Amino acid sequence: MAPTALRVVEAHARVYRRTWRGSVISSFAVPLLTLVAMGTGLGRLVNDSGGVAGGTFIEFLAPGLLAATAMTTAAGEASYPVVAGIRWSKSFHAALATPVSVADLIYGLFGWLGIRLVFNLVIYAAIMAAVGAATWGAAMMAVAPAVLTGLAFAAPITAWVSTLESDTSLSSLFRFGIMPLFLFSGTFFPIEQLPDYLEPVAFLSPLFHGVELTRAAAGVAGSPFLLWWIHAGVLLALFIGGTIAAVRNLGEAMRK
């Protein structure tokens, strides 16, 4: 990373110091409440009928939620702040009047997001271990694939958001993109439970690959669904391809 990209990371960190309070609810409270409600409430019901993948429901759910949380955090950070930088506060325009380049803005954004994901997910994984959903070692192992999942979402989303002429379609990203993926990517139940005709659709979901990889790292039996390097390959390809497209698209948006 160029030193100017590191300066962009630094700027994000400085802004975050002022604004972190607003993100606490979505970063921690929502996944935690989901884990408690589903893991204990629904979990008892599931465990009574034999559990999932040879373990308890919370052992199955927790790493899946780790990956899904990475996805939602990343989607948030890769969309609204990018529109703000281009259109609302125009902070990208301000930065580009300095030696900072468009590529620096993108690498800096993803670099900062990576740091935030590691920070958030380590806390989440610690809670996972504390409530007995995984061993400490397995929980920490699961952080890396979850971070990769987040980045695999962030890059294509930033690339797409950079092409938007207005911000009206932004909310549909969450309503019609993130929300269905959250529900149908094997986070809450194995995709074999889906009707046969829906099962191949899950393969197209990037979150499915993230969930499987994260679950495998946490040592859940039956994961990964495919070979681990296929899942990792899909995520890496999304991240790298998305990053290239994001630099190109943002460059075009900023030249207007």
Partner 1 sequence: MTDSLVEARDLTKHFGAMVAVDGVSFEIEKGEAFGFLGPNGAGKTSTMRMIASVSPVTSGHLRVFGLDPETYGPAIRARLGVVPQENNLDTELTVEENLLIYGRYFDLPRSEIRRRITELLAFAQLSDRGKSKVEPLSGGMKRRLTIARGLINRPEVLILDEPTTGLDPQARHLLWDRLYRLKQEGVTLIITTHYMDEAEQLCDRLVIMDKGKIVGEGSPRGLIEKHSTREVVELRFPPGTQERALEKMGDLGKRLEILPDRVLIYSDDADETLSEVHRRGLETETTLVRRSTLEDVFLHLTGRSLVE
Region from 5-13, 115-123, 128-136, 142-150 binding partner 1, contact rule CB under 8 A: 5-13
* Residue-by-residue DSSP string for 30-80: HHHHHHHIIIIIIHHHHHHTT-BTTB-HHHHHHHHHHHHHHHHHHHHHHHH
Positions in 100-119 near partner 1 (CB under 8 A) = 100-101
Do residues 120 and 113 lie in contact, with contact meaning Cβ atoms separated by under 8 Å? no
35 Cβ neighbours under 8 A, 6+ residues apart: 58, 61, 62, 65, 127, 128, 131, 133
Question: Could you tell me which stretch among 12-20, 65-73, 157-165, 207-215 binds partner 1 (CB under 8 A)?
Answer: 12-20
Helix H or strand E segment including 103 = helix 102-130
| Cβ closest to partner 1, residue 110 vs residue 124 | 110
One residue of 46, 96, 139, 253 binding partner 1 per CB under 8 A? 96
* One of 29, 90, 171, 204 touching partner 1 (CB under 8 A): 90
Cβ at position 70, least distance to partner 1 in Å: 25
* Among 23, 34, 47, 91, interactor with partner 1 by CB under 8 A: 91
Q: Which residues contact 245 (CB under 8 A, 6 or more apart)?
A: 155, 156, 159
Residues contributing to the site for partner 1 (CB under 8 A): 3-4, 7-8, 10-11, 14-15, 18-19, 89-91, 93-101, 254-256
